[in-house]
């Protein structure tokens, strides 16, 4: 018998014990929101592209999201035990193939084969992550990169000055009040030094972009060892939320005309909320089986029961409730002093952006979440 496969973008991929790709994720692959001309993500992409013009920057907007572990991690020098590699954080198609977690997955290839010194890559990226108004397991990034000769860098006051100057072109204004932004030093396995630009939004500092000087191995492998390379990766949703005043990341996926018809190619306009529907908070508390008493990220391959991770809860809720889940928070964590068993309590906020949910509907979603916890994770629900 032929081994089981999964079909994505018209190709069959063998699956194995690393596979963790749920249907609510694979169904997002064909959407390509950054290429829909009057979608706010495409408008945002075009605006940033206009600030980093061709031919100095060459644009790539339809690279496949299916990449090798080598492209996504190894080519960038991610250590073997980096938490980003774990199945709790990354969607694996099989042990060698993932959905890219960032557009940096294409850096090495593009530096090597690119026809110009600079490029912009816009694409959908995939990460297992929290559920709230600024996090969604599929989002869009734009990678920008360029190589400079040492002379060019020195003339401009060094590579850090070049980066600051280039990053000043990035749109970072809000539609409402002037935004508070700040630069912070950061760490990425593939750049040094590295920085992040953060913006204050709805009471929290959010990462807008990361950037830094790329490892010398990249220009070297591209056959230009004397050049210096720098790169940035910006979250298109984050920029679009500021530019258009979009308050919830799920809206980008809406097929509701009241959302889509508000936007026109080439125009930044304020998002007009169509209505605010009531939230519905539901708590769920459960005991974990004694063998899975950790919520730490663990690079967990192979068979056997793996520790329950907070992102597992996020996946269950997204798979059951889709975009009806607005946020999910761990509100209590408790280890029984005698048995050592662990109990978790999550608060789920169900709210549709498009209509009022009925009690029955929410109760049945909540019941399905409980069923998955019991059947697939061996949890014992505490009533």
Q: Is the Cβ of residue 110 or residue 194 nearer to ligand PHE in the bound state?
A: 194
For 3, other C-beta atoms within 10 Å of its C-beta total 8
Q: Is the Cβ of residue 124 or residue 143 nearer to ligand PHE in the bound state?
A: 143
C-alpha of 323 from chain center: 16
# residues near ligand PHE by CB under 6 A: 12
Tell me which residues in 128-157 interact with ligand PHE (CB under 6 A).
143
Q: Is 215 in the site for ligand PHE (CB under 6 A)?
A: no
Q: Is 18 in the site for ligand PHE (CB under 6 A)?
A: no
In this structure, are strands 191-201 and 204-214 parallel, antiparallel, or unpaired? antiparallel
Smallest gap from Cβ 170 to ligand PHE, in A, equals 13
C-alpha of 188 from chain center: 15
Smallest gap from Cβ 74 to ligand PHE, in A, equals 15
Q: Is the Cβ of residue 163 or residue 288 nearer to ligand PHE in the bound state?
A: 163
Residue span binding ligand PHE (CB under 6 A) among the ranges 59-67, 109-117, 227-235, 328-336: 227-235
Q: Of the candidates 120, 231, 316, 379, which one interacts with ligand PHE according to CB under 6 A?
A: 231
Q: Is 127 in the site for ligand PHE (CB under 6 A)?
A: no
Q: Of the candidates 122, 191, 215, 292, which one interacts with ligand PHE according to CB under 6 A?
A: 191
Q: Is 309 in the site for ligand PHE (CB under 6 A)?
A: no
Q: Is 118 in the site for ligand PHE (CB under 6 A)?
A: no
Q: Is 219 in the site for ligand PHE (CB under 6 A)?
A: no
Q: Is 111 in the site for ligand PHE (CB under 6 A)?
A: no
d(CA 27, CA 99): 13
Q: Of the candidates 138, 211, 316, 321, which one interacts with ligand PHE according to CB under 6 A?
A: 211
**Residue 248 backbone zone (phi > 0: left; psi -120 to 50: alpha; other: beta):** beta
Smallest gap from Cβ 235 to ligand PHE, in A, equals 8
Q: Is 163 in the site for ligand PHE (CB under 6 A)?
A: no
d(CA 39, CA 31): 11
Q: Is 233 in the site for ligand PHE (CB under 6 A)?
A: yes
Q: Is the Cβ of residue 92 or residue 119 nearer to ligand PHE in the bound state?
A: 119
Q: Give the up-direction half-sphere exposure of residue 333: CA atoms within 13 A in the CB hemisphere.
A: 9
Smallest gap from Cβ 359 to ligand PHE, in A, equals 40
**Shortest Cβ contact with ligand PHE: which residue?**
233
Q: Is the Cβ of residue 145 or residue 325 nearer to ligand PHE in the bound state?
A: 145
Smallest gap from Cβ 137 to ligand PHE, in A, equals 14
Which two structure tokens, joined as six digits, stand for 235?
């979250």
Residue span binding ligand PHE (CB under 6 A) among the ranges 162-170, 187-195, 242-250, 324-332: 187-195
Q: Is 188 in the site for ligand PHE (CB under 6 A)?
A: yes
Q: Is 197 in the site for ligand PHE (CB under 6 A)?
A: no
Instruction: Quickly tell me which residue has 């929101």 as its tokens.
Output: 33
Tell me the per-residue interface mask from 69 to 108 with ligand PHE, x by CB under 6 A, - otherwise: ---------------------------------x-x----
Q: What is the dihedral of CA 351, 352, 355, 356, to 10 degrees?
A: -20
Task: Give me the residues that bind ligand PHE (CB under 6 A), please.
Answer: 102, 104, 143, 188, 191, 194, 210-212, 231-233
């Amino acid at each position: 018998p032929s081994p089981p496969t999964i079909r994505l973008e018209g190709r069959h991929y063998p699956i194995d014990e690393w596979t963790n790709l749920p249907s609510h994720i694979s169904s997002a692959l064909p959407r390509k929101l950054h290429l829909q001309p009057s979608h706010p993500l495409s408008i945002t992409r075009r605006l940033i592209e206009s600030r980093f013009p061709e031919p100095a920057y060459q644009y790539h907007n339809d690279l496949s999201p299916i990449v090798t572990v080598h492209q996504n991690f190894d080519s960038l020098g991610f250590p073997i035990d980096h938490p980003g590699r774990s199945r709790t954080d990354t969607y694996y198609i099989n042990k060698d193939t993932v959905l890219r977690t960032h557009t940096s997955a294409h850096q090495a290839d593009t530096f090597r084969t690119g026809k110009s010194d600079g490029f912009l890559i816009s694409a959908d990226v995939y990460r297992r992550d929290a559920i709230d108004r600024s996090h969604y397991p599929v989002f869009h990034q734009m990678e920008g990169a360029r190589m400079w000769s040492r002379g060019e860098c020195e003339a401009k006051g060094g590579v850090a000055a070049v980066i600051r100057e280039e990053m000043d072109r990035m749109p970072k204004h809000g539609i409402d009040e002037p935004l508070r932004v700040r630069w912070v030093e950061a760490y990425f396995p593939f750049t040094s030094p590295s920085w992040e630009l953060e913006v204050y939004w709805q009471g929290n500092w959010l990462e807008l972009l990361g950037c830094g000087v790329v490892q010398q191995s990249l220009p070297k492998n591209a056959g230009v060892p004397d050049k210096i390379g720098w790169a940035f990766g910006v979250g298109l949703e984050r920029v679009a939320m500021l530019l258009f005043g979009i308050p919830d990341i799920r809206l980008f996926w809406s097929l509701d005309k009241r959302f889509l018809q508000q936007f026109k190619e080439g125009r930044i306009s304020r998002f007009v909320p169509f209505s605010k529907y009531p939230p519905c908070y539901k708590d769920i508390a459960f005991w974990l089986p004694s063998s899975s008493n950790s919520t730490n990220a663990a690079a967990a391959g192979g068979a056997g029961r793996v520790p329950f991770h907070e992102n597992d809860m996020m996946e269950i809720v997204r798979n059951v409730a889709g975009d009806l889940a607005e946020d999910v928070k761990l509100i209590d964590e408790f280890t029984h002093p005698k048995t050592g068993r662990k109990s978790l309590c999550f608060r789920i906020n169900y709210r549709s952006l498009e209509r009022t949910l009925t009690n029955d509907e929410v109760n049945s979603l909540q019941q399905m979440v409980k069923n998955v916890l019991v059947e697939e994770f061996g949890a014992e629900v505490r009533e």
